[in-house]
């Protein structure tokens, strides 16, 4: 594990605990929720799983209910408290927890799986690539990373413009309220390749159930170089 020059930690996520899931539903229908749960449902009993930025923890509770051993990391104390509470009430297990910035954690043991739900979208493209490298180093050689986030932008210029606008409107709010970086839609597939990872499974989800497939969930594993 390593540290690197980074942007300041995000702020004010505590104030969004009560409306965080509602905002996601209003903007995507159930696409964001379904992408997060696709990742959660791939986790098996007995797995050691680190969840980076668990939000309000519906997917974390699902993983604990399935018998996984969780470590939750979040810079928002209230988000972390809500996630732990859901794991306790719905999953009947109290996960390990770290209240802090994932980017500066230097003593984490390699995990079977790392789950990063819409975490890379917090950062600029340059810093998201550094975070991806850190996620890579957080799994053992046979482990995997499960990411739910925005899909790779379409090649068609008009479709890409529409997606960038749809992505940019809520981003502007989070830039002003939480200090997230303002950026275009990340190409997570390219980031994965640059950090020694390959996409081994993928599921795309339609916005509002009938719209374009602008949300996706990915399973990434280390590229075998032997």
Instruction: Classify residue 148 as left (phi > 0), alpha (psi -120 to 50) or beta.
Output: beta
User: 178 with 8: CB under 8 angstroms?
Assistant: no
**Would residue 105 count as lying in a domain?**
yes
**Would residue 6 count as lying in a domain?**
no
pLDDT at 8: 87
Quick one: what percent of the chain has pLDDT higher than 90? 92
**Would residue 158 count as lying in a domain?**
no
What mean pLDDT do residues 185-196 have? 97
| pLDDT tier for residue 5 given thresholds of 50, 70 and 90 | low
Structure token pair of residue 29: 């229908």
Pure H helices in the chain = 20-28, 31-40, 58-65, 77-90, 125-136, 157-178, 188-194
pLDDT at 4: 61
**Would residue 170 count as lying in a domain?**
no
- Find the angle CA(18)-CA(15)-CA(90) to the nearest 5 degrees: 40
Token pair 């399935």 in the structure block, residue: 66
Number of H helices, E strands in the chain: 7, 7
**Would residue 77 count as lying in a domain?**
yes
156-168 pLDDT, tens digit each: 999 999 999 999 9
pLDDT at 202: 98
82-135 pLDDT, tens digit each: 999 999 999 889 999 999 999 999 889 999 999 999 999 999 999 999 999 999
Q: How many domains does the chain have?
A: 1
**Would residue 42 count as lying in a domain?**
yes
**Would residue 161 count as lying in a domain?**
no
Quick one: what percent of the chain has pLDDT higher than 70? 97
Closest CA to 136 of 198, 47, 184: 198
Domain containing 106: what range? 13-152+186-222
pLDDT at 155: 92
CATH number of the domain enclosing 112: 3.40.50.150
β-bridge partners, 163: none
28-58 pLDDT, tens digit each: 999 999 999 999 999 999 999 999 999 999 9
| pLDDT tier for residue 2 given thresholds of 50, 70 and 90 | low
Q: How far apart are CA 82 and CA 31, in angstroms?
A: 22
136-163 pLDDT, tens digit each: 999 999 999 999 999 999 999 999 999 9
Tell whether the model's pLDDT for residue 1 goes beyond 50.
no
* pLDDT, the chain, mean: 95
């Amino acid at each position: 594990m390593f540290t690197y020059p980074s942007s300041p930690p995000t702020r004010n996520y505590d104030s969004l605990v009560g409306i965080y899931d509602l905002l996601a539903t209003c903007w995507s229908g159930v696409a964001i929720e379904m992408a997060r749960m696709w990742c959660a449902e791939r986790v098996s009993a007995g797995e050691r799983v680190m969840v980076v930025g668990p939000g309000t923890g519906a997917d974390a509770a699902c993983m604990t209910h399935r018998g996984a051993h969780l470590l939750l990391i979040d810079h928002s104390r209230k988000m972390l408290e809500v996630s732990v509470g859901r794991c306790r009430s719905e999953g009947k297990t109290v996960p390990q927890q770290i209240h802090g910035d994932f980017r500066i954690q230097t003593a984490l043991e390699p995990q079977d799986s790392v789950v990063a739900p819409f975490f890379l979208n917090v950062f600029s493209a340059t810093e998201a690539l550094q975070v991806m490298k850190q996620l890579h180093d957080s799994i053992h050689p046979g482990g995997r990373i499960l990411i739910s986030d925005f899909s790779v932008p379409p090649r068609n210029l008009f479709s890409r413009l529409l997606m960038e606008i749809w992505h940019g409107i809520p981003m502007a709010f989070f830039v002003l309220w939480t200090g997230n970086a303002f950026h275009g839609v990340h190409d997570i597939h390219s980031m994965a390749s640059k950090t020694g990872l390959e996409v081994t499974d993928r599921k795309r989800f339609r916005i509002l159930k009938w719209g374009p497939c602008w949300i996706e969930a990915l399973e990434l594993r280390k590229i075998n170089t032997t």
